[in-house]
Structure 1
Amino acid sequence: MLLTGSELASYLTKRIVEESKGKQNPQFSTSGYGEFIFVAQNIKKPEAKEESKEKSGEITRDNAAAIIEMEKGGRIVIEFYPQDAPNTVDNFIKLAKKGFYDGLTFHRVVPKFVVQGGDPNGNGTGGPGYTIKAEFNSRKHLTGTVATARRANTTDSNGSQFYICLEPQPGLDGQYTIFGQVIEGMDVVRSIKVGDVMKKVTIVDKNTLKKDKQ
């Protein structure tokens, strides 16, 4: 005899009630358990409604932006390219949230080329204690492009150091991981001198920012 889930529940309920009254019904005897075959129906469990992290207000690589507050005043706002360099964006966000960049300097400034910072040693030799692989992409080095610095002898040596282009640099295209773009504060970037300190780097929801026209 085949029983659906609801029919089985009805049978068992009736059996319990009758046995509690001392009325043993042969149809619901203990030996009768073997006579029933439960038919599992394809009943979908209600799926938990998972609200996206972005909608819930949590900052992720997809809706994040970075604000670099300079000790001498002014701020630089960076928008990320998570589709082009997801691991690099994640790494920068992780380091910033840990406060890694707070108090570090821009140790390299080359006029009409780049400004470079993010080295705890302050001389271009340091990093976070690990490296990540390069994520070369089709993005171009434009004014305000943000990309990772690396050692000359290996492409997979990205760490915490990054540079910002002062002017377009097509000669760098395809050789470094571009992971963001300055959307506010290029005047601050152009004013940077060697040794200028990043007071604090904060990760924020980019949807709360207004892009400056550059």
Structure 2
Amino acid sequence: MRRVFRKVTVLGAICALSGGAWSQAALPAPPKAASKSMMTRDELRRCMKLPDTIKAMAAAVEQSKGVLDQDRLKIDPAKAELATLRTEVEAQKAVVQKSDGAVRELSKEIDQWNTELEDLEKNDSKTAQRRLKEIKGQQSGLMARNKDAVSQRDKAFGAYEAAVAKFNARGKELETSINEWNARNQRLVEEAEKVTELRDDYAADCSNRRFREEDEIAIKQGK
């Protein structure tokens, strides 16, 4: 029986974390120096809230980045383990191929034995009959050798299948971890971009804008 080797899984590459560290520093309160239009109370309220919002978001991004970096460190050992498992798969495959080759060679020997047996059974000469008796005595030995060779091959193939199953299961786990890490990394990049956008908004809409002191007082009073 010809053995079919199972396919092992192939994993994708891990994306690199985009961007560096994000500053947690709060932005200053909107200055009173005038160079742009007077802010409405709602505009001033938003500008007064933006520094704390930006600071909180930047801190959350930094915290998430730290967790993500730690989780990233767990992936490399898992990949190394998978490489070891792949080596084991290849080693078991080589054993199967060697034992399967032994079975095929023995099968040829048995075919030759059968051919000679058939020829001798058709020959009535004393020499042929002596040889016939001789090779019939080899039958039990040939069958025993064949049984042992097939058993060894099947045992090797079972070990190979187990190694492949282990590799594929661990590979699937690692692939899931990589995909989850990449998704979290993408969300983190998007959050960092939001922080940058808010800082740009503050610079564009809040810096160097005039506002009424009474509006500022009212906002601080919760009005």
TM-score range with shorter-chain normalisation? under 0.3
User: Between Structure 1 and Structure 2, which shows a larger proportion of helix residues?
Assistant: 2
Larger Rg computed on CA atoms: 2
User: Between Structure 1 and Structure 2, which shows a larger proportion of strand residues?
Assistant: 1
Normalized against structure 2, the TM-score is what? Answer: 0.21
Normalized against structure 1, the TM-score is what? Answer: 0.22
